Structure 1
Amino acid sequence: MWTVLLVEDEVFVRESVRRIVDWQSLGFNVIGEAGNGEEALGFIEQHLPDLIICDILMPKMNGVELLQRVRELEIGSRFIMLSCLSDFDYVRKALEYGASNYILKLSMNVQSLMDALVKVEVELSKQQASGLSIPPSRIDTQQQADTGHREVDKLISYMKENFRSMISLRMLAEHVSMDEKYISTLFKKKTGSNVIQFLHQLRIDEARRLLEQSNMTISEIGTQVGYENDNYFIKIFKRFTALTPNGYRSRTRLRGEVPSVKG
């Protein structure tokens, strides 16, 4: 089931989009809503939705700016943009940044939305089949202890100590009193990884350790490493290891590495 975030400042429009489509029959599940781009960005960092249906003109951060920020973070979520007739320049920019489609609000109906969802479902399926949802190489978080840059090293130490808690790019930027966009670019330059991937790698490394060395349930392990939702934990674990947590544990046991008793 592909996950969806709805981003629209007009509550009526947001509720209409959510109500007019039988999401599950098309293979989608709406996991969240946001009223502006800033709110959406924090959610996207934490939950990595497969699809974002996003209004173009919004307060604080418009839809194109949100799409650009998501791409800078190297998050591959698909975007369907909602636009008015006067938004064409924004639509063009959104398509340049890789938006999958756009829908005019005035002509939006069940069929137009379903057509757009079917197109995205095909794109996501092809992406999954080609393995593009899995990071191309494993991030060695143990060798990133000293980059030679004080603020980046401070962020790494903070994430290693607090990865079990909710962390966002905004929180990290505030921790070192720097701009979000600048610290994101700097972190990538010094470590070769973006901030969100690094954080997920820390969590997945700990999850692997717990799967190997304990009898904790999958749900307990997910919560322990910072994922409140079981399905989301399983999705991220598979993205980084190409295995489900249960599959990883089974493979470990087949190798004779019997986990120790919990506690």
Structure 2
Amino acid sequence: MWTILLVEDEGFVRRSIRNSMRWEEKGFQVVAEAGNGLEALELIRKHRPHLVISDIRMPVMDGVELLKQARQEGFYCRFVMLSVLNEFDYVQQAMEYGASNYVLKLYLSVEKMHEVLEKVDLELQQLNRMSLRNMQDVYDAAWGIVTAGGIESPLLAMPSYPAERLMIKAILHGHTAFGMDDLRQLKIVPQEFLPHAHLFSKIGITTVFSWVSADQTYKLDTHVKLPYAIAYAGPVASDEWLHTWKSALCKLNELWYKAATGLFLSTSDRGMDQPDPSLWQEEREVLRIFELKQKEALLQSWHTYWERYQAFVTPIAVVKEAAGRLDRLFAHISGVRARSESEMPESVSHRQLGEIMAGRLCHYMDEMVKRQHTLTDHPEINKVIAYLENNYREEITLEFLSRYTAMDDKYLSGLFKKKTGKTLIHYLHEIRIEQARRFLEHTDWPVALVGEKVGFATESYFTKIFKRITGMTPSAYRQYRLEV
């Protein structure tokens, strides 16, 4: 609801205007009154109303001077001037300073004032959209700075309002969307401050930036029961906003690992720790076990890997980015459609996200096994394919496979070519080279070791087959993938 300050030196006129209009019907609320421009200026500083309805001719300070002073101090509330027939010069000056409209007192009526309010409402909506849209770019750039550990940038200035301070609350709700209605339900921002609040959402975290006057009290009930973890800081001066936001996000990191809910004051100066470098090795081990299709070992490896993030209190943004990247990687390997960033799971704690991801990895493994075992309409050929997929590192001969399927070796060889379109040895080579490509992309193993890991006896033979299938050597392929 938009707020109004009424300014009129004649008390009975002011009361008449206030009591005769149906303000709420048009989305407005009168929050204060003044009898002259000087009183009104103090109330503007205190309440920062959206609209000032002011008489033009008043003692001490007239309406034009009030408008001029408000603009010089950086207040861009809308002004509607009340005048009489012989005050056109004053009206003209007020319009030059940016008044939205003027109304002749002689013709003032409920209908006329409602028309004016409708016009002002449209102006305020447009200004609010423009302000928020412009600030979203600032918040987005600042997010990258504070989550990377920095706090200084001359290009990221928060709008500063006279005699006002900034309150910051970071809400870990875990959802892909969070709006003003969701904020109202939490009741952590007083109703009168909501019109002066901005929301910025990223990876299931919404930060609320709200402004309060220096002389306003802003008490929060830290004992209220809340469904989410919320870290708050402030009120602070606008030039402290980056440091304050970083502090709130650091506190939220701690709460995320504790799976805590409630309202918590942010007093931490702890830095944004970056991931442990050894996590890369743990990640590669998870990938290796996944490709071996060993579900129990996969879950153990994933648990070890996921706990390392908690040990270093790694920022939520870094952890969720890693989870999304791995989710897309394993989906690709298994042949399942990869999820976009917007489809990442909703989670409110590190433990919850880890459990969701473990379930996804098992699902991807099941889908990969299912896909590999149903490639043809012949059960014995599918049995051979499954064996090749699971044991490609071993030495595999046609003689062994004929015994494995209880088929004549020549019959098995012909039937395999008929059902797959490839010879057994070519099919095995393709499996080995596909696995080798993943190792080249996701490990720093030497080419010879990669060839050995996928079942080739010598590096030269591995290089020959790799180039035949991919068109380039293993070393060239690795360099190409690094540059892509």
TM value normalised by structure 2? 0.35
Letter paired with 1:21: M
* Partner in structure 2 of residue 99 of structure 1: 99
* Partner in structure 2 of residue 12 of structure 1: 12
1:120-160 deviations in Å (ceiling 9; x for gaps): 1111111122226976968xxx99xxxxxxxxxxxxxxxxx
1:55-108 deviations in Å (ceiling 9; x for gaps): 000111100000001111121100000001111110000000010000011111
| Aligned positions of 1:170-181 closer than 5 A | none
| Aligned positions of 1:216-227 closer than 5 A | none
Post-superposition offset of 1:208: 4.0
Letter paired with 1:235: P
Aligned-residue sequence identity (percent) comes to 39
Contact 2:45 2:162 survives alignment (8 Å):
no
Distance in 2 (alpha carbons) for counterparts of 1:69 and 1:56: 14
How many residue pairs match? The answer is 192
Letter paired with 1:248: T
Partner SS for 2:89: helix
Letter paired with 1:55: D
* Partner in structure 2 of residue 197 of structure 1: 161
Contact 2:229 2:263 survives alignment (8 Å):
no
* Partner in structure 1 of residue 191 of structure 2: 231
Contact 2:200 2:207 survives alignment (8 Å):
no
Distance in 1 (alpha carbons) for counterparts of 2:263 and 2:192: 26
* Partner in structure 2 of residue 117 of structure 1: 117
Which of the pair has the greater relative contact order for Cα pairs under 8 Å at 6+ separation? 1
Letter paired with 2:54: C
Distance in 2 (alpha carbons) for counterparts of 1:71 and 1:256: 41
Contact 2:169 2:230 survives alignment (8 Å):
no
Contact 1:5 1:53 survives alignment (8 Å):
yes
Partner SS for 1:85: coil
Distance in 2 (alpha carbons) for counterparts of 1:131 and 1:51: 17
Distance in 2 (alpha carbons) for counterparts of 1:134 and 1:58: 37
| Aligned positions of 1:1-263 closer than 5 A | 1-131=1-131, 197=161, 199-200=163-164, 202-204=165-167, 207-208=168-169, 230-238=190-198, 247-248=206-207, 256-258=253-255
Letter paired with 2:76: G
Contact 1:4 1:52 survives alignment (8 Å):
yes
The 1:107–1:48 alpha-carbon spacing in structure 2 relative to 1, beyond 3 Å, is: same
* Partner in structure 2 of residue 178 of structure 1: none
Larger Rg: 2
Give ranges in structure 1 of 5+ residues lacking alignment. 144-191, 213-217, 223-229
Contact 2:56 2:81 survives alignment (8 Å):
yes
Letter paired with 2:70: V
TM value normalised by structure 1? 0.61
Contact 2:200 2:206 survives alignment (8 Å):
no
Partner SS for 2:14: helix
Post-superposition offset of 1:236: 2.8
The 1:134–1:47 alpha-carbon spacing in structure 2 relative to 1, beyond 3 Å, is: farther
Post-superposition offset of 1:193: 9.0
Partner SS for 1:52: strand
Q: CA RMSD in A?
A: 3.7
Contact 1:56 1:62 survives alignment (8 Å):
yes
Letter paired with 1:68: K
